[in-house]
């Protein structure tokens, strides 16, 4: 399937800590021009063709003309298979939803047989992605309130006390093609400006687009080693540093990394595998009636994509509401100390290297509790997510025929019983 860039902007809902105190002092003293309003301590200008923020509500007031423009733009894009229409593959769908609710989980690696809907499911996620606040015109999708997600230029403007134009934009999903060059991924020199204006200018790459968004790599196990190194560096630090032709520039590159592949085509480097927060295994559906249903649904979609999408509109909107509610309530979800100790005991007894397994399991269990509308994690939540969080972190035994996920579940019941 041809790679494409879906969506319109970027992700990662993380708590803002930096400007919460300073906004009361430096920003409120700013004299705002007519037509500007304050949002989160930052002056906001209305921009033509974009939403205008209300002071009293985080919700955006969109007039009918702007709404019509959004709908027209959405309909002009390539139709995406609706997420609720995916039959089966519950493990993969759950892992993806939990990462949308809490991007700090760290992404998901999906491995399974060819033709099982891995790419289709990931790309269908784009309809469910929520909207986030971004600085208008910024190539790095900077967060107006969190300095960790700000480009250097935006940060300098904030320190000078300038007001930022802020727009509400959908989280971005960026496809990383297998044949991409390192320059296209990291960014390179803007040749046009160099020739016409005689200046050295930086042209951002795919990592800049993916900041606060989702970076999707199909057939990730076939990715060239030099691109794997680039991803490892950005995933580890959250920043992309480019050294090109006398230019040295760094920009934020925090993204949810989603990869898919077929294990028969090659193994993934263990360093990159460890960077994925969760691991989902996808198998071919064996039930004949279920297979027929999948074929019929796909035929309906190919015949009339718009009509097919409309038939799942209510389910899609219900799921969007559920995700939005879970994201907003995530910070209030609690997990008992006893459960935390048992999670770490499972990881220790399975000889899991490092502490990423403990951290990701705690985060995923909280996200699942939020998705189910609860404010407290129970043992059932942990049982659901712990195989996906630890399966790929176990040391491989070439003589072991049993699935590593089964080993995790057995150890879980042994510890939690």
pLDDT: which is higher, 303 or 19: 303
Tokens 């042209």 map to which residue? 203
Q: Which residues contact 184 (CB under 8 A, 6 or more apart)?
A: 205, 206
pLDDT number for residue 131: 85
Residue 200: strand, helix, or coil: coil
pLDDT: which is higher, 406 or 11: 406
pLDDT per residue as tens digits for the range 137-179: 888 888 888 878 888 888 888 888 888 888 888 888 898 888 8
pLDDT number for residue 112: 87
Q: How many CB atoms lie within 10 A of CB 194?
A: 14
Within 44-200, residue ranges assigned H as helices are 64-76, 90-101, 118-124, 152-159, 182-186, 191-196
CA dihedral 86, 113, 80, 328 (to 10 degrees): 60
pLDDT number for residue 398: 62
Would the pLDDT of 73 be above 70?
A: no
Please give the positions annotated as active site. Answer: 356
* Per-residue confidence band for 349, with pLDDT thresholds at 50, 70 and 90: very high
217 beta partners:
259
Q: Report how far apart the first and last C-alpha atoms of the chain are (Å, whole number).
A: 46
Domains present along the chain, CATH in parentheses: 80-129+170-286 (3.40.50.300), 332-416 (1.10.8.80)
Compute the average pLDDT of residues 274-280: 89
14-41 in b/e burial notation, b at 16+ Cβ within 10 A? bebeebeeebeeebeeeeeeeebebbbb
Tokens 């972190």 map to which residue? 393
* Per-residue confidence band for 50, with pLDDT thresholds at 50, 70 and 90: very low
pLDDT number for residue 369: 95
CA angle 239, 327, 240 (to 5 degrees): 5
pLDDT number for residue 381: 94
Compute the average pLDDT of residues 352-361: 90
CA dihedral 61, 66, 71, 72 (to 10 degrees): -170
Spatial distance between the Cα atoms of 19 and 141, rounded to a whole number of angstroms: 17
Q: What are the helix and strand counts (H, E) for the chain?
A: 17, 16
Q: Please, are residues 53 and 39 in contact by the beta-carbon 8 Å criterion?
A: yes
pLDDT per residue as tens digits for the range 220-271: 888 888 888 888 888 878 888 888 777 788 888 888 899 998 888 888 887 7
pTM, to two decimals? 0.76
**Phi and psi angles of residue 122, each rounded to the nearest 5 degrees, phi first:** -60, -45
Q: Which two tokens stand for residue 40?
A: 């989160």
Percent of the chain with pLDDT over 90: 29
Spatial distance between the Cα atoms of 72 and 50, rounded to a whole number of angstroms: 14
pLDDT per residue as tens digits for the range 282-310: 888 888 998 999 999 999 999 999 999 99
pLDDT number for residue 315: 92
């Amino acid at each position: 399937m041809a790679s494409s860039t879906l969506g319109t902007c970027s992700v990662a809902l993380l708590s803002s800590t930096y400007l919460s105190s300073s906004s009361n002092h430096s920003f409120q003293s700013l004299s705002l021009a007519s037509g500007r309003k304050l949002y989160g301590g930052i002056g906001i200008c209305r921009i033509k063709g974009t939403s205008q923020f209300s002071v009293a509500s985080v919700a955006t007031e969109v007039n009918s003309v702007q709404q019509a423009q959004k709908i027209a733009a959405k309909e002009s894009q390539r139709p995406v298979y609706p997420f609720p229409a995916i039959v089966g593959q519950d493990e993969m769908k759950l892992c993806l939803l939990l990462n949308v609710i809490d991007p700090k989980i760290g992404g998901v690696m999906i491995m399974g047989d060819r033709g099982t809907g891995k790419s289709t499911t990931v790309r269908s996620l784009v309809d469910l992605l929520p909207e986030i606040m971004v600085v208008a015109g910024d190539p790095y999708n900077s967060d107006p309130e969190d300095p960790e997600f700000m480009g250097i230029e935006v940060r300098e403007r904030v320190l000078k006390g300038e007001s930022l134009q802020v727009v509400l934009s959908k989280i971005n999903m960026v496809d990383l093609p297998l044949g991409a060059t390192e320059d296209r991924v990291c960014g390179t020199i803007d040749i046009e400006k160099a020739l016409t204006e005689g200046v050295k200018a930086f042209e951002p790459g795919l990592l800049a687009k993916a900041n606060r968004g989702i970076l999707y790599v199909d057939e990730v196990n076939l990715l060239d080693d030099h691109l794997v190194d680039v991803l490892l560096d950005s995933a580890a630090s959250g920043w992309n540093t480019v050294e090109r032709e006398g230019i040295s520039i760094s920009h934020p590159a925090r993204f949810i990394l989603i990869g898919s592949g077929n294990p028969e085509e090659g193994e993934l480097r263990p360093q990159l595998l460890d960077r994925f927060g969760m691991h989902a295994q996808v198998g071919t559906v064996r039930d004949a009636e279920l297979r027929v249903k999948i074929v019929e649904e796909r035929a309906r979609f190919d015949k009339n994509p718009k009509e097919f999408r409309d038939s799942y509109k209510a389910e899609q909107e219900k799921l969007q509401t559920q995700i939005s509610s879970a994201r907003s309530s995530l910070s209030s979800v609690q997990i008992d100390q006893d459960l935390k100790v048992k999670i770490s005991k499972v990881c220790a007894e399975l000889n899991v290297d490092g502490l990423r397994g403990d951290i990701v399991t705690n985060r995923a269990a909280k996200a699942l509790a939020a998705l189910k509308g609860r404010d407290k994690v129970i043992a059932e939540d942990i049982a659901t997510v712990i195989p996906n969080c630890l399966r790929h972190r176990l040391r491989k035994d070439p003589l072991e025929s049993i699935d590593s996920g089964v080993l995790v579940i057995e150890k879980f019941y042994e510890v939690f019983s």
